[in-house]
Chain A
Amino acid sequence: MNRDSNFYTFLFVGIMIVGIASILAFTSQTLKPMQDENVKNEKMQNILSTVGINVSRDEAEESYKKFITQELALKIDGSINENINPFSDLNLAKELKKDYEDQHFPLYVAEINSEKYYIIELRGTGLWDAIWGYISLKSDFNTVNGVSFDHKGETAGLGAEITKEWFKESFKDEKIFDNEGKLVGITVLKGNNDPNNSDKDDHEVDAISGSTITGDGVTDMIYERINNYLPYLTIINGKVSMR
């Protein structure tokens, strides 16, 4: 056959596409369960790391079952939707695209040495793409116990530094509410004159040089996501104060 004819070219392309598409689809389908398992275990790892439990990915599931005592799917008014499993059914990225009234937010409760911790899922936008993470609050619903961050495509060495231990460490013991009980979140700020982050009541942590926009993304994501949990926190907090 004439290799330069249009017919041959189209025939070749057609066969090539069908062949390659089937190979790729087959591989992707075969490996999917293992990939999902990895993603699931990593999520458990991240949730656990905010309450100070660092385990390898293989041990994540075991520790998760041990320490996470409650998984709640919260409606926008703060009530609990029992029909949704927050860990497997809730995808925060998709939730945030829904209508406001239909959104659900996952809340994980961890219990370690009979201390309760409340873990809130975060999601926002960095410089290039999505950033996400978890933040755990102590039982006063105000003091940060720990955070974990991850990102899709922030610049290595700059924005990607938000995943580093020293950055996450600086959030510890910061407060998210001001003295009047108003939510202020935690601001990632340049020039807060507190590079060692010794002041834990200023609602500020020191920013990473060269990653202003990623840092602003972290600030926004903490404020906005915790904002979604305020109705629930009010309900729970009311109970706490009555006791």
Chain B
Amino acid sequence: MNKKNNKKPTFLFIGRNSTDGIFSKKNKKLLSDPLDDNNPITVQVLGICSALAITVQLKPAVVMTASVIFVMACSNVIISILRNLIPNRIRIIVFLVVISSLVALVDQFLKAYAYDVSKELSIFIGLIVTNCIVMGRLEAYALGNSVWKSFLDGIGNAIGYGVILILVAFFRELLGSGNLWGMQVVPDFLYESWYVNNGLMLLSPMALITVGIIIWIQRSFNKKLIEKG
């Protein structure tokens, strides 16, 4: 480890040690990279479990995305602030404590202000703790980078995760129950003539297949992702 760097901690001082500005090209890349080139779900294939579980309808997917954005941004910032204080041997435990406290906070707030949503998401809010993306970003990024950068990285990855989640939920709700956001969008005359909802879309296997199709489409457009040889 570089001892010189340790003596001058970048405690909360946004961009003091780095030469680039708040929204430099490098920092913007932190936001945009996880959306496409380095998407946590479609490229790193992390956080699949929740992508299966809560994508039956659009609404819980959006709430889940919002919660994950909050948890990831906060936990990345907190860990980045503490990164020069955390004892190396227990760092994973510290990550867990920080993430689970944030999740407990989200849960409490939902129960008080959005009771129906909290009932709908029930255990899945708690399962944010086990979302490998959160833990992965803390270990891989926040532990070694400044606060502002970690914040952007957290937001970027959470949005990258959320975009796929919402996309999958969109198709599953539309094709599976003919609704969007709980409202019927497939017109009645289609049902009366020949159209039937695809019940299979509501089951978890179709979430995997939908994610697979999204990966396929993404790779056929993004040449960087195609493995050589």
Contacts and interface: CB of A to CB of B under 8 A. Distances in A.
Given A57-B115, A157-B202, A4 B108 contact: no
A34 B113 CA distance: 8
Interface in B81-106: 85-90, 93-94, 97-98, 101, 104-105
A20 B97 contact: yes
A8 B89 CA distance: 11
Contacts of B89: 4, 9
A8 B87 contact: yes
B67 to A, nearest CB: 15
Interface in A21-79: 23-24, 27-28, 31, 34-35, 38, 42, 57
A24 B111 contact: no
B217 interface: no
Interface residues of B, number: 24
Contacts of B11: none
Contact of A16 (B56, B97, B109, B111): B97
Contact of B87 (A12, A24, A31): A12
Given A31-B112, A35-B111, A12 B85 contact: yes
18 contacts: A3-B87, A4-B88, A9-B87, A9-B90, A12-B85, A13-B90, A13-B93, A20-B101, A27-B109, A28-B108, A31-B111, A34-B112, A35-B108, A35-B115, A38-B112, A57-B115, A153-B122, A153-B123
B203 interface: yes
B226 to A, nearest CB: 37
Interface in B55-95: 56, 85-90, 93-94
A153 B123 CA distance: 8
